[in-house]
Amino acid sequence: MIDRNALATVLQMGFSRATGPRNIVVETVVAWEGHFSAEELCRSIPQVGRATVYRTLVSLQEEGVICRLMIDGRAPRYLLGGTQHHHHMVCTQCGSVQDIADCGVDDFVDTVAERFGYEPDGHRLEIYGRCASCIGGERVTS
Amino acid sequence: MIDRNALATVLQMGFSRATGPRNIVVETVVAWEGHFSAEELCRSIPQVGRATVYRTLVSLQEEGVICRLMIDGRAPRYLLGGTQHHHHMVCTQCGSVQDIADCGVDDFVDTVAERFGYEPDGHRLEIYGRCASCIGGERVTS
DNA sequence: CACCATATTGAGATAATGTCTCATTAAATC
DNA sequence: GATTTAATGAGACATTATCTCAATATGGTG
Ligand SMILES: [Mn+2]
Ligand SMILES: [Mn+2]
Ligand SMILES: [Zn+2]
Ligand SMILES: [Zn+2]
């Protein structure tokens, strides 16, 4: 979770006025359990305009409060916690997302970049598979 | 590149009839230099319907002839050569894409999956940075 | 080869997601 | 409270992709 006074700071996020609608978006996002799409967020706070929701999501990403997951064909999903570099493990069955704090691929990235003369500037790693609870459940999908 | 008789096989791709339109799509794709979006492909062969182009792209992915890149906000881009597992290095300046043949992160993936009780089923690694030619050029964007 | 059964196509409707405009609203300051 | 203008949001627009289903073309069959 994110602490209260950090939240106050986040609300300013490069804007010059702290507004009601943006406050609603931020409060909703930091209280969200698990990941969400932009549309799900919009639906949960219909009193806030879509434009504002999208604008705030961009700011929250820039501020490192949330991170954005591009899971294959689906719409991007957002997750709390993007302050420092990390990766994701996505369950292909239930869609849950597990944060991976340690990078573990830095050396490989540097090696490859050097080999091709690139100046590396970041990377993205996503691991797909079935999570523990989906393996356990073994429910049959008709 | 892909050899001629492999192409003939590819044309069947789970269909029961080899058709003209699909042939056009496949020929165009395998002759494409670099990466392309679905829309670019459609525009280059306007005599083929959009639905057929998209359908064939899906088949070509399933067949491992092409792979699909999800680069952040942009529309997905396609590349020849997805026969075996590999990764990508994307130039953040010119957008060019370099295939990375060796995986190099398998061990890390397995370690992490085991730690969280996942049954791993694939992963995706993308490296971002400036490519050699963009570093060299140093053209100033007004 | 002509003919048939039906797999495949494609024009256009629809869907999903996101961006943009600009009249209106409401922070912040005085 | 009045003023300034940052910020909002309704709705138009854009982009990308999927779906529908009448029309078409393919691969057999006789
Ligand atoms: Mn995360
Ligand atoms: Mn590739
Ligand atoms: Zn990393
Ligand atoms: Zn790999």
**Which residues contact residue A32 at a Cβ distance below 8 angstroms, ignoring those fewer than 6 apart?**
A41, A80
Average pLDDT rounded to a whole number, residues A104-109: 94
Tokens, residue A139: 């429910």
pLDDT at B131 over 60: yes
Q: Is the CB of B47 under 7 A from strand C?
A: yes
Distance CA B98, CA B110 (A): 25
Q: Which domains does chain B have, with CATH numbers?
A: 1-83 (1.10.10.10), 84-142 (3.30.1490.190)
Contact in structure between A50 and A57 (CB atoms under 8 Å)? no
For every residue of A92-119, DSSP letters joined together read: TTT--EEEE-----HHHHHHHHHHTT-E
Contacts of B120 in chain A (CB under 8 A): 127-129
Distance CA A30, CA A28 (A): 6
Tokens, residue A98: 């597990």
Helix (H) or strand (E) holding A128: strand A119-130
> Which pTM value belongs to this model?
0.83
Average pLDDT rounded to a whole number, residues B59-66: 91
Average pLDDT rounded to a whole number, residues B105-109: 95
Contact flag A72-B72 (C-beta cutoff 8 Å)? no
Mean pLDDT of chain A: 88
Nucleotide nearest B49 (Cα, C1'): C10
Distance CA A28, CA A63 (A): 16
Average pLDDT rounded to a whole number, residues B79-107: 86
- Give residue B11's identity as a one-letter amino acid code: L
Q: Is the CB of A20 under 7 A from strand C?
A: yes
Judge whether A113 is closer than 8 Å to chain B, CB to CB: yes
